[in-house]
Structure 1
Amino acid sequence: MEVIGVEFKEAGKIYYYKMTNDEFSVGDKVVAETIRGIEIGEVVNPSKIVDPDNFGHPIESIKRKATLRDLKRAEENEKEAKEAFEICLDKIEEHNLPMRLVDSEYTLDRGKLLFYFTADDRVDFRELVKDLASIFKTRIELRQIGVRDEAKMRGGLGPCGRVLCCSKFLRDFDPISIKMAKEQDLSLNPNKISGICGRLMCCLKYETNSYKQIKNELPNVGEKVETNFGTGNVEDINVIKKTLKVDLGDDEKIEIDFEDIES
């Protein structure tokens, strides 16, 4: 089966659809059915042949290329979804619900209005849904999301000063552990290794394997090594600079490159 990959949000999950008689290219705007409803997406992966049995679910076809009318409607929906967001905020306050509204969106056909929120616990929002349905005259869906998803939706700048990885290019959240920070000899101060979501920074995973590989090839701290300047004990390792700090004794300490260690 020939399929193409489509994303519906920047850096969002890629969904695969059957190729039809229409020719779709990377960058094309298309209209397709998703779990949320009818939406406009963008082709991001070119066509390829796959075994449909590997997907574990039926693969749908794209409905059509997005027309100017579709694009205009999506633009209007986005504007009205922002207005709906403000109304929902008022209703949440009116019902005194312990939830934080994050985003809202209409499906292209306006068959559904979705609200995304975070909360510390489960929230009984049945009365809120009734109020919103009576106002907007369409199906209302409230989705509780996690703090990492909230950061991805809201966007912003990370501690590095760059746009958040999750909102720019990370399509999935990988598990991040404190062990990754330890592998990189980073400060374990939560304020220094946490992102704006309050969780460990996703970028901790980027260099973990490189640190492991380099450290496996080097002596450990405290180990005795032979250098061109004599025998000493490793006092510190700087993986970024690729240097070792060696204590030669008699208050003599040197910093040498990794390759200067004698085998």
Structure 2
Amino acid sequence: MEIAEIGSGVDSSEGRLRAYHLFYPVANRRFVGFFEGRRLGAGDKLVANIPFGGMSDNDIVDVLDECRCKGNSETQINVIRIATEEDLRLFRENSEKEEDCMRRASRIIESVGVKMNLINAHLMPFSKLIVLFFSSPSRVDFRPLLAPLGKEFKMSINLQQMSFKAEARNSDCYGICGRKLCCRSISNVVDRSCVTLKKVKEQKESLNSAKMQGPCGKFFCCFAFEEEFYKSQKKNFPSKGDRIVTAPNESFRVVDMNFISQIVKAENEEKGVRSFKRDEIMKSGNGEWRIIAGLV
């Protein structure tokens, strides 16, 4: 089967296999799926097979955009069909019942005495299955819950333990910027590479972990978003230790720079530390930095 390329001028005729970024709002997860048929657009609804630990079941996903990537064993899911009006009706009806399911499940968890935080309850639209998402600081033996939950709901029960990062994605928390958490409001943030301590140091942030971590206990997502900015700015700034020549017999050694304020700090043994605006200096042919004529 031929796979269509994005931007190749291929029309939307039947028989083309295309890859799409898909979003599963129930768990706030992003996948890659293939669909053969008409070209899909953002907001289209599909029925796809969603993995839950050691099992899977069909549910509704949203199309984000067309993509070139083929995914991998962790991100690729099997697309069944375009969701019909009947599929969407079942999904809406189940969604209306989920708040009541949360209350009933929470009551049972409290009565049994299992230490876990119930995050979400989801009724699968195409089977008699309820998925209960929970978090806990340690592994949980939830076997004592299966019998009372099964008796209460009279359907199959699947309990999914979520990481603190996944819990933050599914919460309505706000960051220190006053906006909703990136992992909650921006669907593709979960695909960004891990924010490492090296990236944080490159952005010249304080190594005070309390100021760098979100509710999930991981580094802020914004470090990943701002990485390209810092990489591009680094190319246009002198490095630490570079010389800035200000007069025939006078130069300063760069000790620090601020990409946001566009300031370079340099030191001279006799004159101390001096701040230069980035547009006040330029790199000469021999690799030295010089102050632009007329700005001394």
Q: What TM-score, normalized to structure 2?
A: 0.75
Q: Which residue of structure 2 aligns with residue 179 of structure 1?
A: 198
One-letter code aligned to 2:170: M
More divergent stretch after superposition (23-32 vs 180-189): 23-32
Q: Percent of counterpart pairs with the same letter?
A: 26
Aligned counterpart for 2:217 among listed residues 190, 194, 198: 198
For the pair 1:166 / 2:183, whether they are aligned, the reply is yes
1:223–1:124 distance in 2 versus 1, CA, 3 Å: same
For the pair 1:242 / 2:242, whether they are aligned, the reply is no
Aligned counterpart for 2:45 among listed residues 29, 33, 39: 29
Q: Note the aligned Cα RMSD (angstroms).
A: 3.0
Report the Cα distance in structure 2 between the residues aligned to 1:155 and 1:15, rounded to whole angstroms. 25
Report the Cα distance in structure 2 between the residues aligned to 1:25 and 1:220, rounded to whole angstroms. 46
- The alpha carbon displacement at 1:64 in A equals 3.8
**Where do residues 132-151 of structure 1 align in structure 2 (5 Å cutoff)?**
132-151=149-168
1:59–1:245 distance in 2 versus 1, CA, 3 Å: closer
Aligned residues between the structures = 258
1:114–1:228 distance in 2 versus 1, CA, 3 Å: farther
Answer yes or no: is the 8 Å Cα contact 1:18–1:59 preserved in 2.
no
Q: What TM-score, normalized to structure 1?
A: 0.83
Gaps of 5+ in 2: 2-16, 289-296
**Where do residues 1-263 of structure 1 align in structure 2 (5 Å cutoff)?**
1=1, 2-5=17-20, 6-9=22-25, 12-20=29-37, 24-35=40-51, 36-46=56-66, 60-67=78-85, 69-169=86-186, 170-172=189-191, 174-212=193-231, 214-215=233-234, 218-227=237-246, 230-251=250-271, 253-259=273-279, 260-262=281-283, 263=288
Answer yes or no: is the 8 Å Cα contact 1:17–1:62 preserved in 2.
no
- The alpha carbon displacement at 1:207 in A equals 2.7
> Structure 1, residues 221-262: CA drift from partner, whole Å, max 9, x if none?
455431369412223211222221223444454321335045
Answer yes or no: is the 8 Å Cα contact 2:47–2:79 preserved in 1.
no
1:96–1:173 distance in 2 versus 1, CA, 3 Å: farther
Answer yes or no: is the 8 Å Cα contact 1:133–1:139 preserved in 2.
yes
Report the Cα distance in structure 2 between the residues aligned to 1:249 and 1:92, rounded to whole angstroms. 69
Gaps of 5+ in 1: none
1:8–1:116 distance in 2 versus 1, CA, 3 Å: same
